[in-house]
Chains A and B, each alone.
Chain A
């Protein structure tokens, strides 16, 4: 028998094997290589993101207002834990044995859960070789007690982290606070990972992108035991983390602190603006809180619910979001619109006819200036009537519709009834009623000036935020224009946002302002003016008081509450450095009683650096007004 042909069987074996392997290799390395490359990346390459520290914040004088403070996390790696003495460890960190074990269990199934799209279930991706925080956010003091003993507990390490610190304890509502990102934020923005911090309020929220800086990325090659073997392709793709150079605020932190002190035991707000730039010098919302109590998870968990439940609403940013009737301060704008619309002249006088609307006793207002000084209600009733009903239509109803829309347009140009584009979240627009508004509430053709006359003296449907009113003071100081009030003076040394360098002009010509401004001066400095308590020795202050009647709905009935005391001012009269609005809620008395002296103290502090009017200061500091105790 000849078995030579059997060699073909063996040769076939070789060749078929070779072909099979060739085809499989072709499939793996050419057709399907992307799947494997992805897998290789997952296995061996690690992309480490380096997050730069959050930007620090300076005030206008270079004081560090927000800084980063070092904290520690106590990290745990189960793989390295050998002879773990839970009792001794618990003693060291102030836990019982069972608490320690509980925490470990919690880490094992809680930390780092992820959604597995294959199994369509949430799975724990806990790994024995990874680091997990056992205790978070320990202070240096707390850590210094633990750290020396950590050598005895294998598998525990300290890790440095940083958190916000507010050395001045002021400006909570401006600066805002940080909190851990939520899932929606993580999904929306790739920057965030679980446990990252994000600005939740204030400028921390507005300027989140500038605050967080730019992440650096490092690609490393890792071994099967997750050790770093080296940088990937000699760091060809690595980028460095860029920390923001710092954010400079227009805020004067000392003034802010002083304002907060003045407003202690009161509800209300102070907003001070530098008229020439629109930079906000101080924005006090009273009552307030120390921003340091909302730093870190522990603090937030402890204090946040208390702040939310507090009846005085310390978290509510009143200057931005509280809408008040402006009261008599509103008359300044009525006078300006009247002159611009040429329904009155600067020299126009009206009798103080108390039968139309109530007023106090004062000399006859022979001009706009005098009317402002005396804050004559009937005068401005007459002025506003002329603005609203200009006789452009023979029906007084139709005429009012046309008139109020012209009036509302003027108001919008003063930043009223519209949202100011200030760089902070939580702004409200206030309310400037127009024809649509009244048509809605009263019915079309159902109203004319006589029905809505309280708007002429800043009551009724008119509502403004203190920020808007401070901006009005700023407009007065500038005689007709303003920069949108803003907090951030400079980002990375490049100045403010572009929109804050654009001058906004009101629809009232500059030439009409001096008449009103002079009235404001007389208001403070002349006998018979409404705000003598706003006088500061050596400073010419222009101001206007407001006394706002307000009601509260109690058990279905409107109860009259003590008046809000309101005052707006700027100083000095020439070359103004500061414009201010002060609200003291339910203070009782008039604008001149509480708001005016408070404003003057802030102005004095800002212009002179110190306050000499000690008696005035003491009176304000001691006052306890309208707080829920």
Chain B
């Protein structure tokens, strides 16, 4: 049935190109960050860059393998693959902890993180399951099964504990949302219980998941921005309090959001964009005020606990060095980013974010955006952000052109996982997101993440290249 020329004929070179760009810039950044003059060769295996290069090689090999295997295999074996991932997640709990988490499965001197691969297993099974019924057959049972597929590995992961990967799994909720999962019946039940009210559907119930995430994000960002120890003077002598800055940010976001929605929505829904903006904005302001009031009314020890989690805790006065505060990591990363300036300090000239000075911890993995931004400046960082946004939009484009629901669900899974990693990683480097340790996809040092993301993307390329063969 399948034509042999389909391998190259429908290959998405743009996605592949973006993949290569990120991998290449990633490895050059790792080279710069961990450069050791004693082993200057990028192939020296005793250095991180040598090892990362090796992992890139392995990843390309695995990607090729994935590409050569008939994609139906994954669909057919989705349950065994998923169970295999779960088994690894269980086994890893019996391994000795590294840095306080049992996330590593050791094979000799190498270790892999099953958590990274579990995302693929979950994505495949979720796609397979969700494509087994159509929208009209969607009911409470299908929702529960879908949720179970996502939640089981999440529970195993939080046992490690690995908060970062745990959070990433919530990306799948967006996939479910795209495929029509709705909380409207529940919301309607509540709303229609009010006498005299009779809605057929509610906006809140329909878009429950994105709204929930916007709310959570705003909540976090409100606390971070308004409680951060970093203060800036707008102009000499005039310091703005955190909440005023928050309000300004909301106004800007609302305006931008409206403009974007106007351009994206079909003409007839222009009014809806305005309504969404107004409602969203008023709710955000109300939320900000509520968060502020609530936060301020909390007992001090609870406040401290929240501040610690957000990474905005300031060392108490008199306890000595403010550098020891929990704000340390984020503040150092932000220093690296901010000090990069417009054009950057130059390749291998980063003074804050490199492993030699170690002012930014983990700057080859979780904080790798900071050396990039320090070396390449605003031009470089805006370039990288743009590349990631293009990558995401490309995956969405690919997702939307699939004929099969299986392919589409999988593609959305990839898009959302990539988005989470990108948004959290870059966000914490610029002080917008709490410190959650997850790698920057295809960029950070680390074999497991490199292999997992490569397999994920090559599988997508494979599915996409065969999209025309699928009748369903």
Contact = CB atoms under 8 A, between A and B. Distances in A.
A224 interface: yes
B180 A16 contact: no
Contacts of B432: 20-21, 24
A224 B342 contact: no
Nearest to B266: A5
Interface string B398-421: 011000000000001001100100
Contact of B332 (A13, A15, A43, A45): A43
B342 to A, nearest CB: 5
Contacts of A39: 335, 338-339
B62 interface: no
A16 B178 contact: no
A175 to B, nearest CB: 43
B352 A25 contact: no
A28 B357 contact: no
B358 interface: yes
B232 A1 contact: no
A14 B389 contact: yes
A18 interface: yes
Contact of A3 (B180, B332, B416): B180
A413 B180 CA distance: 108
Contacts of A32: 232, 338
B427 A36 contact: no
B382 interface: yes
Contacts of B358: 223-225
A26 B207 contact: no
Contact of A40 (B257, B342, B352, B430): B352
Given A8-B264, A10-B178, A43-B352, A28 B252 contact: no
Interface stretch (B44-52, B316-324, B464-472): B316-324
Contacts, number: 154
B281 interface: no
Contacts of B459: none
Contacts of B183: none
B222 interface: no
B389 A15 contact: yes
A28 B321 CA distance: 24
B320 A127 contact: yes
B427 A21 contact: yes
Contacts of A9: 177, 207, 210
A394 interface: no
B337 A40 contact: no
Most buried by B among A13, A16, A45: A13
A229 interface: yes
B265 A19 contact: no
Given A29-B373, A29-B381, A123-B318, A224 B357 contact: yes
A35 B232 contact: yes
Contacts of B340: 29, 33
B317 A16 contact: no
B260 A12 contact: yes
B256 interface: yes
B32 interface: no
B357 A229 contact: yes
Contacts of B252: 23
Contact of A221 (B260, B264, B351, B385): B351
Interface string B408-446: 000010011001000100110011100000000000000
Nearest to A37: B339
A629 interface: no
Contacts of A12: 257, 260-261, 264
A23 B257 CA distance: 14
Interface in A205-237: 221-225, 229-230, 232
B220 interface: no
A11 B400 CA distance: 12
A25 B264 contact: no
B21 interface: no
Contacts of A606: none
B273 to A, nearest CB: 10
B265 A20 contact: no
Contacts of B261: 8, 12
Describe B's contact surface by its main secondary structure: helix
A131 to B, nearest CB: 16
Interface residues of A, number: 50
B178 A33 contact: no
A25 B382 contact: yes
A190 interface: no
A18 B383 CA distance: 11
B265 to A, nearest CB: 6
B248 to A, nearest CB: 11
A30 to B, nearest CB: 5
A26 B378 contact: yes
A119 interface: yes
A40 B392 CA distance: 33
Contacts of A188: none
Contacts of B332: 43
A609 interface: no
B377 A29 contact: yes
B219 interface: no
B123 interface: no
B22 interface: no
A352 B338 CA distance: 94
Contact of B180 (A1, A17, A45): A1
Given A16-B257, A18-B389, A223-B356, A126 B320 contact: yes
Contact of B396 (A5, A11, A230, A232): A11
A15 B135 CA distance: 28
Given A21-B385, A29-B373, A119-B317, A223 B357 contact: yes
A30 B356 CA distance: 26
A223 B359 contact: yes
A48 to B, nearest CB: 16
Contacts of A8: 261, 264-265
A627 B281 CA distance: 93
Nearest to A28: B338
A7 interface: yes
A13 B174 CA distance: 11
B30 interface: no
Contacts of A440: none
20 contacts: A1-B180, A6-B177, A6-B207, A8-B265, A9-B210, A10-B415, A11-B393, A12-B257, A13-B210, A17-B423, A24-B430, A26-B382, A29-B342, A30-B342, A33-B340, A33-B342, A35-B232, A36-B337, A223-B356, A223-B359
Given A19-B260, A39-B339, 20 more contacts: A3-B178, A3-B179, A4-B400, A5-B269, A6-B177, A7-B396, A7-B400, A8-B261, A10-B174, A14-B396, A14-B419, A21-B426, A25-B378, A25-B381, A28-B337, A28-B430, A33-B341, A35-B232, A223-B359, A224-B358
Interface of B: 135, 174, 177-180, 207, 210, 232, 252-253, 256-257, 260-261, 264-265, 269, 317-318, 320-321, 332, 334-342, 351-352, 356-359, 361, 373, 377-378, 381-382, 385-386, 388-389, 392-393, 396, 399-400, 412, 415-416, 419, 423, 426-427, 430-432
Interface of A: 1, 3-26, 28-30, 32-33, 35-37, 39-40, 43-45, 119, 123, 126-127, 221-225, 229-230, 232
